[in-house]
Structure 1
């Protein structure tokens, strides 16, 4: 039987997620610029400032500038839908509360990173480094609370190993390898997967590579991309991590 208190907590969590979506939208709009260009601080159409604490509708689910109506950042309602789905899946996984806190932190950074990578093939340091630092610290706290220091050591080892692997492909293969942004993203991806065990790390990477490969084949068959184009790999890394965490739950 559902209680009024339980229902109230669920609604509170939902409202909390929706309250931070303008910040997530701001992160996507600010960082979705081509390499070499400064971060976006205003509407490209009319130069109305974009501020995470401000009122422009670019930061609302409509994703439109309040002054000229120009579309800015992620598609309408996309960030909100992903954020709510992430909340539901994270809370339903049934992990101890310290681990859940770490996963919520990690998810909050993965959402804008995935949207930015899809838009402009970039994984900004301003998003990947806080994601990694917070994930490492919160998982360390979780290790202390739950009495699982080995899980934290494994998480750090997996993070470092995956980051070195992706960085090595860049050094060896240049532009044909993975970008350094993928290596920095792996610092948090690897930590989250590693916490749950080496089989989960392998599963997450398998899903990422398989998802990337299948998507590339489908887009090539539909003539949406050419053989010389590369897909952004960050979203597939995030997908693999999500599948791994859900499987571990």
Structure 2
């Protein structure tokens, strides 16, 4: 059984994350959504459509993520925090990153984009909290390695965009990789490598399954952000 306080935390955070998905799950270049697409009612934290049902009570239009998707993702993140290793500061960094990763993954699934207003806070907050972990006992070595790993992974992803265009990773993936690289790199280069191998393996297996089921074609472009998030989370549970 989860402690009641943790379950209450999940319930209290869910509307905020649903609001983030509703605002930023829009096509690239479009302005952030501020109103219900069906009736035009302003979307804010008080809007009843940001509950688990994810429907506007006035017009029944879906608002943001699918029903219960945010809540289930938050429960999965809570389970991960319970099983992941590390001290209090490391867990705080992971919790911060997961809080941004949930809406990022859902937005990427919906519209194939990872908005700057979610990726940058995820990365910068993770670096800062890992810096606190370094100051409170871990030392500068792991933090410097995390910083180098994050920058290197982000630069590598960005390079594929510059070299391959649409066939490479998006710049949103590169910005998401800044925090991913830091979290994995904190625990060592082998953990970073394991995380990347697991991420690409998940991507390959799912892509092949969808291809065999004829849900996608050889030319389809699947969002990579969700694979990067799930691969990182699974690696941190298994390797720490």
Q: Please report the TM-score for the alignment, with normalisation by the length of structure 1.
A: 0.93
Query: Could you tell me whether the CA contact under 8 Å between 1:203 and 1:240 is conserved in 2?
Result: no
Partner secondary structure for residue 3 of structure 2: helix
Picking from 89, 93, 103, the partner of 1:112 is 103
Q: CA deviation at 1:196?
A: 1.0
1:3 aligns to what?
Answer: none
Work out the CA distance in 2 between the residues paired with 1:93 and 1:111. Answer: 17
Alignment RMSD: 1.3
Work out the CA distance in 1 between the residues paired with 2:204 and 2:117. Answer: 28
Q: CA deviation at 1:127?
A: 0.2
User: Which range moves more in the overlay, 18-27 or 84-93?
Assistant: 84-93
Picking from 209, 216, 221, the partner of 2:207 is 216
Which ranges in structure 1 are unaligned for 5 or more consecutive residues? 1-6
The 5 A counterparts of 1:94-173 are: 94-173=85-164
1:27 aligns to what?
Answer: 20
Q: CA deviation at 1:129?
A: 0.3
Q: CA deviation at 1:19?
A: 0.3
Picking from 219, 225, 228, the partner of 1:237 is 228
Asked if 1:38 corresponds to 2:31, the answer is: yes
Q: CA deviation at 1:72?
A: 1.5
Which ranges in structure 2 are unaligned for 5 or more consecutive residues? none
How many equivalent residue pairs?
240
Q: CA deviation at 1:43?
A: 0.7
Picking from 234, 237, 240, the partner of 1:246 is 237
2:61 aligns to what?
Answer: 70
Partner secondary structure for residue 146 of structure 2: helix
Query: Could you tell me whether the CA contact under 8 Å between 1:31 and 1:40 is conserved in 2?
Result: yes
2:165 aligns to what?
Answer: 174
Partner secondary structure for residue 218 of structure 1: helix
Query: Could you tell me whether the CA contact under 8 Å between 1:62 and 1:76 is conserved in 2?
Result: yes
